[in-house]
Amino acid sequence: MKKYIFCLIDDDLIYQFTCKKLIQSLELPIELIPFLNGQEALDFLLKNAKVENKLPDFIFLDINMPILNGWQFLEDYVNIKNQLCKPNLLYLVSSSIDFEDVERAAKNNLLTGYINKPISKEKILKAINLRQS
């Protein structure tokens, strides 16, 4: 079975811990790479742009973070996406119920989808199934 790499970009350490435990409970070959802000994640992606086995299959991106928030990450990501040797599915994952955030996400072609927090096993498995199809 293929190993999937999940990149989790979220400044909430408790949420990161919860996601890690949730992913481990799936008992699937998944590696989780956490980042506390968008800039850390962009730096990682650029550094590993040509290293397929280090790049994520999935990016779960929070909106509200310090240094570089989710929207700012997307503005910069569009400029590096074509440098990455591996495609990924990018999801905005947020507790925001602001209609403007949901609408803005729906209009962004970089995003595969918008996932409301809390993340669940079902939402992770749905992302994996979409990647496999």
Give the pLDDT of residue 133: 60
Q: Which residues contact 121 (CB under 8 A, 6 or more apart)?
A: 22, 25, 26
> Which residue carries 């909106």 as its tokens?
63
Amino acid at 83: Q
Residue range 106-123: mean pLDDT, rounded: 90
What is the overall mean pLDDT for the chain? 92
Which of 34-48, 67-81, 112-126 shows the lowest mean pLDDT across its residues? Answer: 112-126
Tell me: pLDDT of 130 over 80: no
Identify the structural domains of the chain with CATH numbers, from first to last: 46-133 (3.40.50.2300)
Residue range 111-120: mean pLDDT, rounded: 89
pLDDT bin (cut points 50, 70, 90) of residue 94 is confident
pLDDT bin (cut points 50, 70, 90) of residue 116 is confident
Closest-CA residue to 5 (of 118, 123, 128, 121)? 128
Per residue in 19-65, pLDDT (tens digit) is 999 988 998 899 999 999 999 999 999 999 999 999 999 999 999 99
